[in-house]
Structure 1
Amino acid sequence: MALALFALALGAFAIGTTEFVIMGLLPEVAVGLDVSIPAAGSLISAYAVGVVLGAPLLTALSTRLPRKSALLLFLGVFIAGNLVTALAPSYPTVFLARLLAGLPHGAFLGVGTLVAANLVGPAGKATAVSRVLLGLTVANIVGVPGGTFLGQVFGWRAAFLVVAAIGAVAVLGVLAYVPRMPAPEGVGLRREIAALGRRQVVLGLTTGVFGFAGVFAVYSYISPMMTELAGMPAGAVPVVLALFGVGMTAGSLVVGPLADRALRPTIYASLALLAVVLVLFTFAVHNPWTAAIGVVLLGGAGFGVTAPLQVLVMNEARDAPTMAAASNHSAFNLANAGGAWLGGVGISAGLGLISPALIGAVLTVVGLALALTAGRSARRPGTTATPDREPVEATR
């Protein structure tokens, strides 16, 4: 079981690396493709669009596939997208390749977390889900800085070749260690879509959009905040980004066992803590040491929201959780885009570089209100909400 979880986490590590490594290589990509920095930045958006579109699309195409086959299909698309990115001769081709690479992001993480949950059973599924998603957090500590270094030394294309190779190793791990899990009987696309429309699922997804948007309202502008408000040198920014990854990893390790004991209270506490951290960040950011501590806490509190929400959505979708589990990652990418946009609105309105933290706190409070609303709704007599520890799905 441990090796199966490691193989799934390795796939998540590759996904997390390819999503964020391009941010550190924008100048090299722009020069290599003979485009402007803003045009190169559009390649980040291309990947995000791929995530949002791919989660429901690939999930719909794979609902009747055995789980292991679906994982291998998603990894195959991911590897192809990164290989084409590395070998593409022109900007339009790279743009399409980034879109392709993003398509399996949510589908792989959705099915991968379902597989992890079923490997351990209902009592430990939040911990198992957090271990798979740990790959995303470690990517921010090791994969993104390492890929950026490789891209700067050997050319930006080398970073995506290495990511494709990591994806290939993940394929071997899934083949060797993930047991065969047939698709649930009688669960087709219609039932998956119906499950996606359940009130508790919709509230869970919306909670993720608003709650996690608070993180990206700040993270998107962390570099100018550290240099202009905290007074750090530009060379310290990569260290700060690694500290964010350390916080994410710590949050992932802590929140899984807590969510296994009390799922909804863990979500409430994580969102409340995140809102408090964002408010305190407005004061802490004016000193380099307290700013660094604030970044660690931001990563920990922010990632404390993700795994519990993933389990909640899987639970509430009950016997047809695949589409909902994958769509949760589309929700997080919408949070990424929306948080960054709203943070930029505050800066453009003349509210200063500190404004994204306050905007993020408001967004997180909205997410907390949605989570509390969902919790009250689930306790009403006659509701059909799934208990926290109900198995995600039955396998034959």
Structure 2
Amino acid sequence: MPLAIYVLGLTIFCMTTSEFMVAGMMNTLAEQFGVPVSAVGYLISAFSAGMVVGGPILTAALLNTPRKKAFIALSVVFLVGQLLGAIANSYEVMMVSRIITGVASSAAFGVSISISASLVKENERGRAVSIIFGGLMIATVLGTPAATWAADAYGWRFSFWAVAVLVLLSGITALRLIPSLAKPEPTRLRHEMTAFRNRKLWAAYLTSFLIIGATFAAFSYFAPIFTDLTGFSAASIPILFVVYGAATVIGNLITGRLADRYTMQLLAAGLIVLSIALLAFAIGVHEPLIVIPAVIVIGLAGVPMNPPMVARVIRTGGSGLMINTVHTAIVTFGVVVGSSVGGLAISAGYGLAAPIWVGVVLALAGVLSLLPYMMGGISRREIADMEG
């Protein structure tokens, strides 16, 4: 893989760390800005909303910009937002910071995938994407805990400044290592939008939404489920999250290697395994010997489906900026819907295990979304096209 791919992964690592690190400093930020903890939770939602809504809009403005230039510009926008958060002296300023960084992050994902598709052979795109998404997964395993630790040791502003410095360094490195790709052909937004008339593209989007929604419906409530239902001590929770995170990294390495050659098979097998693991988790939620293997399998078969998900989208709709940015927005929307519906199920009185059952339903819906392929409803030629 070209070094530029790893630089893209580093930038995504920084942006994902920024997205989730607020969760580890909720009490501190609530005290700093004089707001309830629930209001700090909205800072995470604002980042996600920026990704879902603002990312595609910003991408539309960059359609005719050379990919390298667009990536650098988005890194600068993200850096500005991150710096604004580092110096924020009010809740409102921090909210603006989170929206700016969320918008830039979504568009950066789309541009990164588009650049990676241009730097490698067609049969290596899945592996390249796995490196980019590896940055996301390592951020959840190392970046977010490190930012939380730094915030406790040196203050929350230190963590914001540290991420800003890393973004600056990755941007400078990208400037040197990403080759100057050919300027894209002049494209009108109306022309770019014609790709969205493809029903198979929306079928791919739907599957991606359901996979991520199922995973995050359960993942968002791991901590209270582990302590209140399974009986783990509070001190063991970080270890369990590291185990889960390590499983996602390993799964990503595996799917990245296989995504180009076995795209649809991976998605089908992954969804079936994810459904079984979530079902086992829901039924055996009080038994540690069932919960631990189930969580590991969820880590292996949930988020690591991103490389085959992206490979399917690229083969179905192409590697255009809008196609990949909208895919990123839909995946992010899956995170929001999965965690929100899980929370609503708890609020409705169905108990802490309810989000896991929400995950089961979404995962089974994902299996159903692939039934045309699994039942042979797609022609052999179409399958061959999808699998390269």
TM-score (norm 2): 0.94
Cα deviation 1:296-327 (Å, max 9, x = unaligned): 22122112321211121122112x62111111
| Alpha carbons 2:264, 2:387 under 8 Å: kept | no
> Shift of the alpha carbon at 1:235?
2.1
Specify the SS of the correspondent of 2:64: coil
Which residue does 2:104 correspond to in 1? 104
Specify the SS of the correspondent of 1:379: coil
Paired residues, what number?
388
The letter for the 2-side match of 1:17 is: T
2:38 counterpart of 1:32: no
Which residue does 2:386 correspond to in 1? 388
Which residue does 1:317 correspond to in 2? 317
- Aligned ranges 1:258-297 → 2 under 5 Å: 258-297=258-297
| Alpha carbons 1:211, 1:368 under 8 Å: kept | no
Which residue does 2:333 correspond to in 1? 334
Separation of aligned partners in 2, 1:139 and 1:327: 22
Separation of aligned partners in 2, 1:71 and 1:30: 33
Cα 1:208–1:354 change in 2 (3 A) is same
> Shift of the alpha carbon at 1:112?
0.8
The letter for the 2-side match of 1:365 is: L
CA RMSD, Structure 1 to Structure 2 (Å)? 2.0
2:109 counterpart of 1:115: no
Specify the SS of the correspondent of 1:223: helix
Cα 1:379–1:290 change in 2 (3 A) is closer
> Shift of the alpha carbon at 1:274?
0.9
Separation of aligned partners in 1, 2:342 and 2:237: 19
- Aligned ranges 1:205-244 → 2 under 5 Å: 205-244=205-244
Cα deviation 1:23-57 (Å, max 9, x = unaligned): 11101110111111011111111101111122211
Separation of aligned partners in 2, 1:55 and 1:245: 26
Separation of aligned partners in 2, 1:95 and 1:118: 35
Separation of aligned partners in 1, 2:19 and 2:289: 28
Cα deviation 1:117-155 (Å, max 9, x = unaligned): 222211111111111110000011110100000111111
Which residue does 1:354 correspond to in 2? 353
| Alpha carbons 1:266, 1:308 under 8 Å: kept | yes
Separation of aligned partners in 2, 1:69 and 1:389: 31
Identity, % of aligned positions? 30
Separation of aligned partners in 2, 1:169 and 1:300: 31
Cα 1:29–1:374 change in 2 (3 A) is farther
Separation of aligned partners in 1, 2:358 and 2:261: 32
> Shift of the alpha carbon at 1:244?
2.1
Separation of aligned partners in 1, 2:185 and 2:223: 49
Q: Which moved more, 1:241-250 or 1:270-279?
A: 241-250
Specify the SS of the correspondent of 2:385: coil
> Shift of the alpha carbon at 1:74?
1.1
- Aligned ranges 1:123-272 → 2 under 5 Å: 123-272=123-272
Cα deviation 1:181-225 (Å, max 9, x = unaligned): 124324332222111332111111121222211111111111110
| Alpha carbons 1:65, 1:182 under 8 Å: kept | no
Structure 2, unmatched stretches of 5+, are: none
Separation of aligned partners in 1, 2:284 and 2:307: 27
| Alpha carbons 1:68, 1:179 under 8 Å: kept | yes
Which residue does 2:343 correspond to in 1? 344
Cα deviation 1:336-381 (Å, max 9, x = unaligned): 1111122123222332211211211111111222233477798349
Cα 1:350–1:123 change in 2 (3 A) is same
Which residue does 1:394 correspond to in 2? none
Separation of aligned partners in 2, 1:365 and 1:57: 32
| Alpha carbons 1:203, 1:374 under 8 Å: kept | no
Specify the SS of the correspondent of 1:387: helix
